[in-house]
């Protein structure tokens, strides 16, 4: 549990929401960061980059992420029961390394929608002092909500950048969707950066930072105040969106819907949140806009690009942002849309419901989402499964349908099924052997991780015994290498 002394302030949270990052410094008296640096040097020189296994090869790294300042920051952003994801990587910028192009990371091949209501963050840890000329990681503050920038090629980008610098032990915690790059290292020093990822396991019901004022305060130079306020209210656990009273002017609505496809992304974003403030009178027109937008874009959105190197989720739509901002008012129509004839529309409806996390229409939404777990299109199954995890209602129907996905042909469906089981924290003993089978035998490394997470969160004797058995058979010893096999 995080100490009150290390939770973020309101100002810190506003900075993260609008700029996309915060930085903390981890101080240790025993020269821990130098020890980690030396271990990285040795391992990369003798074994090569261990990828996801950097943590078991250098267990001291865990002390950094257990530091009260890091725990307090992550708790403030993701809630108390956040999970450290097993994907992590050691990035090296050798002397003379050139500039990277601007990019976003994908969600470990899971193709999540890039929701403005962030549920993931990344942490960039530096075990040595970093100056701007050492190949420091650069980011574009305030552009995390954008799927486009002026250019991904350095020298043609017009947005202002910030470089993450600091003393050894600095941890930059960023919105998962930040545009970032490694910069040129013109020094004679190596620059290591360890990238770790974290995700929330429960939807916010109250602020988890050191809050003094529940009311959103606009931030200077924020081009998207309505978006920022929506994210703030969500993090505060506010379930009811604030809408304008009365019926909307049809000409204005038509223009705003048209602006959802404007070439200028700033206009698209602001149009979405203006529509999202207009109340029930715009629900039907936004459902129609969703159908048109998804038809137009779904094929291109699933292709590889700078925003989604493995291909994106076809439900990442501006009409989706507007419907999410409408909140509970949009849910009844979205539940009906789960039965639309086109799979890309059904997939988008499922994702939006899971992003809203309805209260008043919770049981109806869960029942219809459970029906979609047997949809013929895997994108629908994937999005419906994720939505059920966010909503968090473990009915017998939901659990029964989820079990049928244990051997789904698509890894992303299996992975999200286990993420959902982890969030539901169900305690059926009959589920334990099924989870153990996934933990021990599934081909997907992240499927196996979430099977272990589901077992851990069940938190009873049988689940603990299963986890201990799995640990004994798969234990990684950080001292065992080709040079010291015994």
Answer whether 285's CB lies under 8 Å from 260's CB: no
pLDDT tops 70 at residue 246:
no
Write the pLDDT tens digit of every residue in 398-447.
999 999 998 899 999 999 999 999 998 766 677 888 888 888 888 889 98
**Res 134 pLDDT > 90:** yes
Whether residue 360 is contained in a domain is answered as no
The answer to whether position 419 is within a domain reads yes
Phi-psi region at 185: left, alpha or beta (left = phi > 0; alpha = psi -120 to 50): beta
Tell which of 145, 180, 199 closes a domain. 199
61 versus 106: the higher-pLDDT residue is: 61
Percent of the chain scoring above 90 in pLDDT: 76
* Confidence (pLDDT) at 475: 66
**Whether residue 467 has pLDDT greater than 80:** yes
Q: Which residue has the higher pLDDT, 5 or 269?
A: 269
Domain that holds residue 23: 4-199
Closest to 142 measured CA to CA, from 114, 125, 156, 161: 161
Instruction: Kindly report the average pLDDT of the chain as a whole number.
Output: 92
Task: Kindly give, in sequence order, each residue whose CB lies less than 8 Å from that of residue 129, ignoring residues fewer than 6 positions away.
Answer: 166, 167, 168
Entry pTM = 0.94
Q: Domain for residue 90, yes or no?
A: yes
CATH at residue 178: 2.60.120.620
Residue 7 in this model has a pLDDT that exceeds 90: yes
Render pLDDT for 307-347 as a digit per residue (tens, 0 to 9): 777 788 999 999 999 999 999 999 999 999 999 999 999 99
Query: Could you give the C-alpha distances from 358 to 156, 175, 220, 324, in angstroms and in order?
Result: 43, 24, 32, 10
Residue 263 resides in a domain = no
**Cross-strand partners of 175:** 121
pLDDT of residue 141 exceeding 70, the answer is yes
Distance CA 391, CA 356 (A): 9
| Residue 378 is assigned to a structural domain of this protein | no
What is the pLDDT averaged over residues 132-145? 96
> What's the pLDDT at 241?
65
Of 163, 183, 199, the domain-final residue: 199
Domain boundary among 164, 182, 199: 199
Segment 281-303, tens digit of pLDDT: 999 999 999 999 999 998 888 88
The pLDDT-based confidence of 242 (bands split at 50, 70, 90) is low
């Amino acid at each position: 549990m995080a100490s009150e002394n290390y939770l973020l302030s309101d100002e810190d949270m506003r900075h993260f929401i609008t700029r996309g990052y915060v930085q903390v410094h981890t101080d240790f008296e025993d020269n821990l960061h130098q020890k980690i640096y030396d271990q990285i040097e040795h391992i990369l020189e003798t074994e090569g980059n261990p990828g996801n296994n950097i943590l078991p090869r250098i267990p001291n790294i865990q002390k950094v992420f257990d530091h009260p300042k890091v725990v307090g920051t992550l708790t403030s952003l993701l809630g108390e029961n956040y999970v450290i994801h097993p994907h992590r990587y050691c990035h090296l910028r050798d002397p003379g390394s050139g500039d990277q192009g601007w990019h976003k990371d994908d969600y470990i091949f899971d193709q999540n929608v890039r929701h403005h209501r962030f549920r993931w963050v990344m942490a960039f840890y530096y075990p040595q002092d970093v100056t701007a000329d050492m190949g420091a990681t650069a980011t574009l503050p305030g552009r995390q909500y954008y799927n486009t920038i002026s250019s991904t090629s350095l020298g043609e980008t017009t947005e202002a950048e910030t470089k993450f610098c600091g003393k050894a032990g600095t941890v930059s915690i960023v919105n998962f969707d930040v545009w970032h790059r490694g910069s040129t290292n013109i020094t004679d020093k190596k620059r290591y950066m360890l990238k770790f990822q974290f995700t929330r396991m429960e939807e916010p019901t109250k602020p988890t930072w050191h809050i003094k004022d529940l009311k959103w305060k606009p931030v200077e130079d924020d081009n998207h105040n309505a978006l920022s306020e929506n994210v703030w209210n969500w993090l505060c656990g506010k379930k009811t969106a604030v809408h304008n009273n009365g019926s909307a002017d049809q000409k204005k609505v038509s223009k705003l819907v048209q602006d959802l496809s404007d070439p200028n992304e700033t206009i698209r974003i602001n149009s979405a949140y203006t529509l999202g403030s207009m109340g029930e009178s715009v629900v039907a027109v936004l459902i129609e806009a969703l159908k048109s937008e998804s038809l137009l874009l779904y094929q291109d959105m699933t292709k590889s690009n700078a925003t989604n190197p493995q291909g994106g989720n076809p439900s990442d739509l501006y009409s989706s942002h507007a419907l999410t901002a409408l909140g509970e008012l949009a849910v009844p129509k979205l539940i009906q849309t789960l039965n639309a004839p086109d799979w890309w529309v059904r997939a988008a409806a499922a994702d939006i419901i899971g992003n809203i996390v309805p209260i008043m229409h919770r049981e109806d939404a869960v029942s219809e989402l459970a029906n979609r777990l047997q949809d013929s299109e895997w994108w629908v199954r994937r999005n419906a499964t994720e939505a059920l995890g966010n909503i968090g209602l473990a009915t017998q129907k939901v659990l029964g349908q989820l079990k049928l996905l244990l051997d789904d042909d698509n890894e992303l469906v299996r992975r999200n099924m286990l993420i959902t089981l982890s969030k539901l924290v169900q305690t059926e003993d009959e589920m334990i052997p099924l989870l153990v089978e996934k933990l021990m035998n599934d081909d997907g490394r992240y499927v196996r991780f979430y099977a272990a997470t589901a077992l851990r969160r069940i938190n009873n004797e049988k689940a603990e015994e299963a986890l201990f058995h799995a640990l004994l058979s798969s234990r990684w010893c950080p001292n065992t290498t080709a040079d010291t096999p015994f």
